[in-house]
Amino acid sequence: MEFTRDGKSCSFCGAPWAEDNKLIGGFGPQICHRCVSDAHDLLDDPAEMDRRRTPPWDDLTVEQMLNTLPDIVRTSDQVDEFLHGWVGLLRERGVSWQQIGLALGVTRQAAWQRFTRAKRAGIAEES
Amino acid sequence: MENLTERHFCSFCGLQGSDQERRLLGGLGAFICQQCARRADETLNDDATWAANQRAPWHDMSDEELLQVLPRITASGAQHDDFLHDWVDMIRERAVSWHQIGMALGVSRQAAWQRFTRTRKAPATAAVEA
């Protein structure tokens, strides 16, 4: 599996990787420098966290929700691609479907089916 | 759609959120906990740490370690996918048509409908015990 941030985007704001806005990866998701700084400040401020208890989407218009949708789809697909990359890596090392199934608490067959089906087509790229 | 820390887990370390000890901040389906945010902040702001992080961590991991991480990745994906489906449900509740949803994604009405009315993946309950 290639280690690259090209084409990746922040799973918090949707911003693409850029030299002046680095990304750091987790279990598939990425977070950008700006969001890390914001999160860092916010999470250490209990009062502000309490103010954010109201779900932000309650105040969004339909247009705003629709505008956010492609970013959610793209970052969701990003996790899926990472997952497939990870399984590909295991298979390259000769790890059996049985072992992969065991790690996931499913049968050999279920693991095989899940990961050998064609990768879900990126919906945003279909047209 | 609920906004509860206790129901979610960090997409970076896999640990369950907690209002007392591990507050979470959500994004577009991903979550980050205060501990991981602090670590990421340090990494991004320190050139030496950043440079040391420019190598794929999986190259140095054993097969066993790779397998241990696998359920965390599937859980993170399921959590993200769940958020996406909730988002589409909320849009649909506001009487937005599949045509409009498809337009927003640059795909046909049919393609949008197919993607989001298929059954969801397994629920994202596989958070690692803290």
Residues of B in Cβ contact (< 8 Å) with A82: 73, 77
pLDDT of residue A52: 73
pLDDT at B15: 92
**Amino acid of residue B11:** S
Q: Quick one: average pLDDT of B83-89?
A: 94
CB contact under 8 A, B23 and A13: no
Is the pLDDT assigned to residue B33 strictly greater than 50?
yes
The H or E element containing residue B113 is helix B109-117
Per DSSP, what are the bridge partners of residue A18? A21
pLDDT tens figures, A19-41: 888 999 888 899 999 999 988 88
A residues 86-115 closer than 8 Å to B (CB): 86-87, 89-90, 93, 95, 99-100, 102-105
From B34, B84, B106, residue closest to A76, measured CB to CB:
B84
Q: Which two tokens stand for residue A74?
A: 């793209």
Answer whether A28 touches B (CB < 8 Å).
Answer: yes
| Mutate which: A38, A43, A82, A87, vs B, most B CBs within 10 A | A43
Q: Is B30 on the interface with A (CB under 8 A)?
A: yes
Average per-residue pLDDT in chain B?
A: 86
- State whether residue A9 is helix, strand or coil: strand
A36 vs B37, B72, B75: nearest CB: B37
Residues sharing a CB contact under 8 Å with residue B54, sequence separation 6 or more, in sequence order: A3
State what percent of residues in chain A have pLDDT above 90: 57
Q: What is the pLDDT of residue B130?
A: 36
Note the pLDDT tens digit of each residue in B37-71.
Answer: 999 999 988 988 888 888 888 888 999 999 999 99
Q: How confident is the model at residue A123 (pLDDT cuts 50, 70, 90)?
A: very low
In this predicted structure, what is the pLDDT of residue B72? 92
Handedness of CA A10, A13, A16, A21 (dihedral sign): negative
Residues 45-84 of B with CB under 8 A from A: 50, 53-56, 58, 63, 66-77, 80-81, 83-84
- pLDDT, one tens digit per residue, over A34-80 is 999 988 888 778 788 777 767 778 889 999 999 999 999 999 999 99
Contact B70 A71 (CB under 8 A): no
Chain B hits for A13, Cβ within 8 Å? 27-28
Cα B110 to Cα B116: distance, rounded to the nearest angstrom: 10
Q: What is the mean pLDDT of chain A?
A: 86
User: Which one-letter amino acid corresponds to residue B28?
Assistant: L
ipTM for the predicted complex comes to 0.85
Highest mean pLDDT, choosing among A56-70, B9-23, B44-58, B89-103: B89-103
**Global confidence as pTM:** 0.85
